[in-house]
Structure 1
Amino acid sequence: MGATCSKCGVLEPVDPTTTRSSRQDSPDPQIYDLMRRSVGLSDSTPSAEPGQHHLLFKQQKKDKPTVPGAPTETYLPPTRLLVRRHSPRHYEEGLSGTHIYAVRYPSDQPLSVQKEMAQEQAQPKTKLKRRVVQEEYEIPEIKDGEPVDTLFRPSTMAVRPKQTVVDWVTVSEEHNIYIADVGLTMSQCDQIVQVTEQVCRGQYAAYTYAKQTLGCREFPTLAAISQPAVHRITHAILEFSQNNRLALDDREPHMVKYDVTKKERQKLDMHTDKSEWTFLISLSNGCGMDYEGGGTYFEALDATVHLSRGHALIFPGKLRHCGQRITSGLRFLLVGFLVDKTGVKAVEKENDATATATASYQSNMP
């Protein structure tokens, strides 16, 4: 991975010996190279072992001491969308199709990928100037006796967060599919993944985690560390949609883990969500870095969208979509559903009224 100047974002030459084996394993070496450059441009933290396999709690390593004078800020280049019709090996395997990759890359530098197989998607985007984020990740404290739900209540989400999303790009204006850069650094994504893996040691957590999902509100430490990221993206959606009736569903957010070693956790079948808006925050890099394969396929687009770490995919829950199968590694997502609370309450009242009327009718029957 190339070294980067934090001020100008210029990429230094890449040492081929550090990436050769992983590049050879990737079904799409060009996209792998592009992803490595993207990570190099946006990461100011000391280089770490590639991939997140070392984050499994069974293989955890001791935290490394902080390097004196290490950068406290990270420069995040603008998010650009690369539309790739297929990759050579994917085509040979009969998996050809349209893939949309979200990468962080300077707007004045070309995306070096074969033109006959890819093009850049230039959609309207919201102009956001701030692209420097703090390395310090402010985790809220939960006071004694205070319920975890207070971290995600509507009044909390409505307050402007200290760190807002740093980019917002349009994947499809017709279908309201967007990608936002939540402003998470690689080390912050790793922190959330580590806590997720740690809390799943418990019997209850292991049971729910086997189903591929884990509710953040069930565990105070997981709720606290995920709250800043959820706050940023939720507030951004509220501002974008101009709908103050939206709020997180009472059971949200939750973690999703794709694991190639577990057949039932390699993919997620086609479905719709019971939400006005759904967001998926990626905590892993694809293209052979943390996992291979994967991505979110949308039936309406007939295309698969791939995110980088720290990116969030935002779309209406009514759109049919699925989580594509991963072929190697681990993929982690922080997911949330925004619902219209007034509509939910109206349905609940109607159901209660129906149940009351039914009970009254049955009690009056001879």
Structure 2
Amino acid sequence: MTAPLTTQESAGSHREDAPAGDASRVCRETRELLWAAVLQRDERAAARTVFAALDAGVTAEQVLLDVIAPVQTTVGEEWAAGRINVAQEHAATAIHERVIAAVALHSDAPDTHGDVRVAVACVDGEWHALPARILAEVLRARGFAVDFLGAQVPTPHLIGHLHQTGPDVVALSSSLPTRLPAAHAAITAVQAVGTPVVTGGAAFGTDGRYAGLLGADGWARDARDAPRAIGEAIDGGVRTPFHQPIDDLPHLADQEYTLISRSRPELVRTTMTGLEERVPAVRAYTAGQRERTSEDVAHIVDFLAASLYTDDRALFGGFLGWTGDILEARGVPAAVLLPGLELLSEELKDFPRALRHLAHGRATVAARPKAASGQQA
């Protein structure tokens, strides 16, 4: 495989690239302008801002990774902090998607890696497609031939695409750890047809621990790191073809993950009933509040299942810590999580691993500075 291009070589533009110091300054200023534009839901202003940076000599890759990606991260942080709502978050994401498409059409990619075809896809059930889209455009800017398959690609459809097009490698993206079981199934299926898999995204951990756990052939820290991971995966071949998921995760033999996943609807119902009996304020909830609480309980069950799949209590504790941050940003004490966790522990009293994960989760919530002083419900 040909060595990856440098940032300057991958500009995909006839313009002379800006010196590093100037490019850093332009990117910083452009981030501020782009953030203001997306807050105002002004797509034209967002596009003008980005193209001005390109005209100033910033490369397409720099615009994608040093401007759009950080602003999108800010969008998520502002939503989590309760300073923007879901509609604003969706509007900002849509603007970024359209600006990325415009940047891609505006730039001419070199043909250095054209003999290497990469299929970029999101795991089945993963709707956060923007990171994968940015990856696809960065790879195109580096000269790879790319098939971008978009959000939530069912594994059978992915395998069908591989049979039709024969890519050299699959780049699999996921942001949510709850999609790790689906990612594992996709990794195993893709490897079974002889194609290596490189993974990326927040779901696989900041250090790629879950990529290794699930048997992927490579993991990329970010889009800039992807060409390295792709090259190594192609050179190394498929690491573990024709194996079963339980070969990677022998702890699944206890069936706790399977049984809890299958009983998810019943667990949510019984937990909601228990909350109404034990927490007086829940009985006075409106239909909307009841629905949101039920959704929260379902997310807790989903993350518990994912932590059981990986046998990593820290995954569950991390989710509860993040959820506590969001609740408190909206004026709700994180301690409201404790009754639901206690009820789930009672329901799952015959599941030793689940009990250990739930105990870790309760300890995580209880250790928060505001947990002891919050009101339940």
TM-score (norm 2): 0.28
Q: Which has the higher helix share?
A: 2
Structure (1 or 2) with the larger CA radius of gyration: 2
Looking at both structures, which has the greater relative contact order when contacts are Cα pairs under 8 Å and sequence separation is at least 6? 1
> Structure 1-normalised TM-score?
0.29
Which of the two has greater strand per residue?
Answer: 1
